[in-house]
Structure 1
Amino acid sequence: MIRRKKMIRDIALICLAAMSVLGLTSCAGRPDPNQNVIITEEKEVRLVNLFSPMEKTDPDAENVARSAADTTIAIAEEKLGVTVAYRTYTAEDYQDKTYDDVSLDRARSNMDDLYLLNPDTIRKLGSEGVLMDLSGLDCVKNLRDVVKTANTVDGKLVAIPQEVVVYGLFINMDIFNEYNLELPETPEEFLECCRVLKENGIETPVGANRWWLETFVFAQAYADLYNGGNTEEEIAALNSGAARYSDYMRPGFEFLQEMIDCGYIDAEKAYISEAIEGEGTDFLTGKIPVVMAYWGAANTETAYGNTDFELQVIGFPSSRGQMPVMSMTGFAVGAEAEHAEDAMMTLDAILSDEALQAYTEINKVISPSRNVEVECVPALKPLNDRVGEGVFVLGCNAGMKVEQWGNTCLIVRELLNGATVDDCMAAFDRLQEEALDSYK
């Protein structure tokens, strides 16, 4: 198993949005040659420091199109008269430290005002009381319930994202239509599709990589938890130890084991393959008919935005039908931030419906605001419809004491490497016991 630090660093760099820097400005009066005294006019610069994961661009560049995130920063700066200064992470600067490690250190030391954080870091810092409660911001009243659920720790909303990342199954409909296959709703229907495809000469029906097979697990594990009307109660039971994560996870791992045993996925290849790089070419050339990926991969000019076949993106099979799997990063404000008031106002502006509309139109993603809709490509309509109906599961939830996305990914990789389902369930039990002990 690769080291957890490298895994989390890679996850951070895949899931987090790129940002650019805005230069600091100041002005001072110049001496009047007609005067015998020098009059200095000072203007206060209201500064907000943001720690983010990516390299900054040339602060002196002019007439360069800003990224979606930078556009929202510009809206906040103009509206509030603040200047947002980017403090950025690079692996070279921090050597073996992951972005999460550095974020934890900086937030605990009050080094910045705003932070862009991964779910596990949000959970840790939120439980330590290091992050502001954002529930009083005006933008919160417009947030989707899923966003608040995923970023609430000990009753406090401690982070808010600019987008909700949704994962689904990408289907080559030309191949499915050739063999008269309906889009699967349940695990049993999905396995039957794989059986038919394999019997008709498709050696490996599902293209997989070392990151995203856990999406199958989440869909089956948490379909009822997030859609059965008892979400808070079930999470409370998991956090107290009255319920076990392994009981939720077992059906999904048994499903993956069956796929491995039947040859529907190539476990050896998946274990070493990077996302999209490992399976993308085979999917685009029609060698494999099914892959898993995130929403943005279906957009024009991205991984699967220009296929030569009819593409459909659906949710993962579950007992409640096709199930989208969501993850998200989040902006947070340090509880002891030097410029806390301006940071809170800046975040409120960045996450206003006006700013999120601009962000969504540029990135074509699902907004955290229920008032901001995305005009998705036709291939994404089935996935978008389910999200619109409020049907989904979370692959990350800061309110759970056991981090979900990274840990499940690592344990799925153990299954790919030959571990039994029972071994994997024992790993979840250990994680839960460790988490419960750390909260005592």
Structure 2
Amino acid sequence: MKKRGFISLCLSAFVVMTIVSCGQEDSRNLVKKNTPTEERVVDLFSPMEKTNPDAENVARTAADLTVAMAEEELGVNVAYWTYTAENYQDRTYDEVALDRARNNMDDLYLLNPNVILTLGAEGKLRDLSGLDSAKNLRDIIRVANTVDGKLVAIPQEVVAYGLFVNMDIFKKYSLELPNTPEEFLECCRVLKENGIETPVGANRWWLETFVFAQAYADLYNGGNTEAEIADLNSGRARYSDYMRPGFEFLKTLIDKDYIDAEKALISEAIEGEGADFLSGKTPIVMAYWGAANTKTAYGETDFEMQVIGFPSSRGQMPVIPMTGWAVGAEAEHTEDALLVMDVMMSDEALQLFAETNRVISPSKNVKVECVPALRSLNDRIEEGVYVLGSNAEMDVEQWGNTCLIVRDLLAGASVDECMVAFDALQDEALGKK
């Protein structure tokens, strides 16, 4: 699989602020977060920080609470290895995770979808389908994280992306929430004509969500998913044919100045467009589920906010990529790591995680009430209406490659040139079979 040095930013609420960039693997940045004294040890590698890991009875993050649950139940000491992001240096978290997993340096890993696909194809991750907790997973989790017939990763949340809409502005101009690409463009036209200089706030990471919604609305919701993916993997169908409508839509947004392409190309997620959205200058942005829950993002606005799916031929469409926890296939403490995973992914642990972070659980048995702004997006997902932004069953990695090709479009590439890039990725994948 061709990888272009991409780090899949912001696929999960607890990854979003820590996975932006990582330092080189040296004593300055690689930190062991606790020193195990027990005989049974499991080594965990992730971008997360653990708050005062050696202290007792302290508030921990949602993921840490599930790790603590496993430690107590199994009598195992989980040793955290992590990167700090104090210095922006050359190696990404993805690159380091690949190196460590290939060299069996850890037992448990938190991985982005492109890395899951790569390591799964290389046989570096254990099959998790035999875990008791795996029996409770939603079908979406199995589809997205199955490589060569093996379930190689499980997330602790289903991370959904949607459009965040300032309803005060929409009501002011008598606009209905858009369902289709055509309706979305009409909303942008009205907003632009009424003095909204940039109707859609964008950054260099997340515009691919528009593309996925339009490219794969029928593939994932038309009842023929397996056959269509098989056609793509065999070359009977071309990714460029699926992607073209979404790229033509983005090109229209650029040409009509509904988004600021130059600004988007250099803007980090939320940092680039967040202030304009919160101030009412820009009425539409795209973001992940957790951004509606947190005070640091869009959880407390001065206006009514609604989060909806992206426009598609099948209406408002949530886009779901996901990170996942995985176990190294040949790591030193693999068997204990599998036991830890089983506890972390149990319904009890996932209920705790979901209630703490107010997120959608990967378990079909765990439900958490979402904030009012997210109900529309949540309803679509509960109905089984969504597209995947990452799918390990596809031979061409989706989230990272599409993001980079969208950046080419922002930088001035034509839609045809972008489609050539998809064809090249597919041809390379076919050549490796």
Query: Considering the TM-score relative to the shorter chain, is it more than 0.5?
Result: yes
1:353 aligns to 2:347 (yes or no): yes
Helix, strand or coil: the match of 2:105? coil
Q: How is 1:23-422 mapped onto 2 (pairs within 5 angstroms)?
A: 23-26=35-38, 45-90=39-84, 96-422=90-416
Write the distance in 2 (CA, Å) between the matches of 1:197 and 1:369.
40
8 Å contact kept, 2:317–2:387:
yes
Alpha-carbon distance, 1:280 to partner: 0.9
Q: Distance in 1 between matches of 2:324 and 2:10?
A: 14
Shift of 1:266: 1.0
Identical amino acids, percent of aligned pairs? 75
- 2: CA distance, partners of 1:15 / 1:236: 33
Give, as a single letter, the amino acid of the residue that structure 1 aligns with 2:67. Answer: I
Secondary structure of the corresponding residue to residue 123 of structure 1: helix
Amino acid at match of 2:15: L
- Measured against aligned partners, the alpha-carbon deviations of 1:61-111 in whole angstroms (never above 9, x if no partner) come to 344201101100011111111111112234679952222222122212222
State how far apart, in whole Å, the 2-side matches of 1:316 and 1:391 are: 12
Could you tell me how far apart the structure 2 residues matched to 1:67 and 1:304 are?
20
State whether residues 56 and 88 of structure 1, in contact with CA within 8 Å, keep that contact through their aligned partners in structure 2: no
Question: 2:22 maps to what in 1?
Answer: none
Are the aligned partners of 1:22 and 1:83 in contact in 2 as well (CA < 8 Å)? no
CA contact (8 A) 2:192 2:258 kept: yes
SS in 2 for 1:222: helix
Q: Quote the offset at 1:200 in angstroms.
A: 1.3
Q: TM-score, normalised by structure 2?
A: 0.92
Matched residue SS, 2:307: strand
Q: Name the CA shift for 1:314/1:242 in 2 (closer, same or farther; >3 Å).
A: same
Return the alpha-carbon distance in structure 1 between the equivalents of residues 284 and 430 of structure 2.
38
1:25, CA displacement in angstroms? 2.9
CA drift of 1:263 comes to 1.4
Partner secondary structure for residue 160 of structure 2 = strand
Between the aligned partners of 1:12 and 1:150, the Cα distance in structure 2 is 13
Q: Secondary structure at the match of 2:7?
A: helix
8 A contact 1:91–1:98 mirrored in 2: no
Q: 2: distance between equivalents of 1:118 and 1:153?
A: 14
Q: Tell me which amino acid in the other structure corresponds to 1:338.
A: E
Structure-2 separation of matches of 1:138 and 1:153: 19
Cα deviations across residues 155-187 of structure 1 (Å, max 9, x unaligned)?
110100111111000011111111111111100
User: Equivalents in 2 of 1:262, 1:372: separation in Å?
Assistant: 44
**What is the CA–CA distance in structure 2 between the aligned matches of 1:99 and 1:267, rounded to whole Å?**
27
8 Å CA contact retained: 1:91, 1:97? no
Note the C-alpha offset of 1:60. Answer: 3.0
Give the letter for the 2:119 counterpart: L
Deviations along 1:259-292, whole A, 9 cap, x unmatched? 1111111111111111111111111111111110
Tell which structure's C-alpha radius of gyration is larger. 1
Taking the aligned partners of 2:83 and 2:12, their CA distance within structure 1 comes to: 10
Looking at structure 2, the residues matched to 14 and 379 of structure 1 have their Cα atoms a distance apart, in angstroms, of 17
Q: Counterpart of 1:230 in structure 2: which amino acid?
A: N
Unaligned runs of 5+ in 2: 20-31
Q: For residue 335 of structure 2, give the secondary structure of its aligned residue in structure 1.
A: helix
Structure 2 counterpart SS, 1:165: coil
Distance 2:100 2:305 in 1: 43
Q: For 1:39-63, what per-residue CA distance to the aligned partner results, in whole angstroms no more than 9, with x for missing partners?
A: xxxxxx2111111123455433344
What are the superposed Cα offsets for residues 304-327 of structure 1, whole Å, 9 maximum, x if unpaired? 111111100000000000000011
Distance 1:235 1:423, change over 3 A: same
Give the direction of change, closer, same or farther, for the CA distance of 1:4–1:14 in structure 2 (3 Å limit): farther
Specify the alignment match of 1:32 in structure 2.
none
| Structure-2 residue corresponding to 1:430 | 424
Give me the TM-score of the superposition, normalised by structure 1.
0.91
CA distance in 2, matches of 1:94, 1:280: 22
Which residue identity lines up with residue 65 of structure 1 in the other structure? A
Deviation of the 1:202 alpha carbon: 1.1
Letter in 2 for 1:127: A
Letter in 2 for 1:314: I
**Separation in 1, partners of 2:293, 2:108:** 30
**What is the CA–CA distance in structure 1 between the aligned matches of 2:411 and 2:294, rounded to whole Å?**
35
**Unaligned runs of at least 5 residues, structure 1:** 27-44
Deviations 1:164-219 (A, max 9, x none): 11100001111111111111110011111111111111111111111111000000
Cα contact 2:166–2:305 (8 A) shared by 1: yes
Distance in 2 (CA, whole Å) between partners of 1:329 and 1:281 is 27
* Amino acid in the other structure paired with 1:312: Q
The code of the aligned residue for 2:111 comes to L
In structure 1, distance between residues paired with 2:158 and 2:304: 25
1:170–1:316 Cα change, 3 Å: same
C-alpha separation in 2, matches of 1:399 and 1:290: 32
d(CA) in 2 for partners of 1:71, 1:182 = 42
Residues 13 and 290 of structure 2 are in contact (CA less than 8 Å); yes or no, is this contact kept in structure 1? no
